[in-house]
Amino acid sequence: MEAGKDTLNNNLQLIGSGSRTFQLYKDPSNTVELVQTGISWTAFFFSGLWLLYKGMYLTALQIFVFCILILLIGIPEQMIPLVSSGIGIFLGIRGNFLYSRHLENNGYRPFIMINANSANHAKKQFAAYIDEEE
């Protein structure tokens, strides 16, 4: 086995070097999506927009309905920032996991794990890996 490559317990190959881990998903038409493992700061700061950008419309609608119900119940105005922060924290912590499940529900399958310092670095390492395989 080459240096920098490993096989994980779930049979996904681990390539690259870096401080963060990304998982690459592939669908039957070979379209790939890169998902960082761990906390998503983008989901934390831009919760609703992040959900829409990722195509997770049902989850966005569920959170929207939840917010409307909270407002209709008539919570104190001082509680609104707390609820909003709670949604941001939830999506920040669980967002990438939810996106992974969304991809799997839409026909994508985990393909490879990449250690990298950024998403662009992961893409470059994946491109080098593909070139190496050919």
Closest CA to 110 of 59, 18, 37, 60: 37
Q: Output the tens digit of pLDDT for each of the chain's 134 residues.
A: 333 443 344 678 888 888 899 999 999 999 999 999 999 999 999 999 999 999 999 999 999 999 999 889 888 888 889 999 999 999 999 999 999 999 999 999 999 999 999 999 999 999 998 888 77
Domain layout of the chain by residue ranges: 1-31+108-134, 40-107
Chain center to CA of 3: 27
Decide: 67 and 75 in contact? Cβ < 8 Å.
Answer: no
Distances (CA, A) of 63 to 33, 38, 53: 24, 21, 15
Query: Dmax over Cα atoms in the chain, in whole Å?
Result: 61
What's the predicted TM-score (pTM) here? 0.83
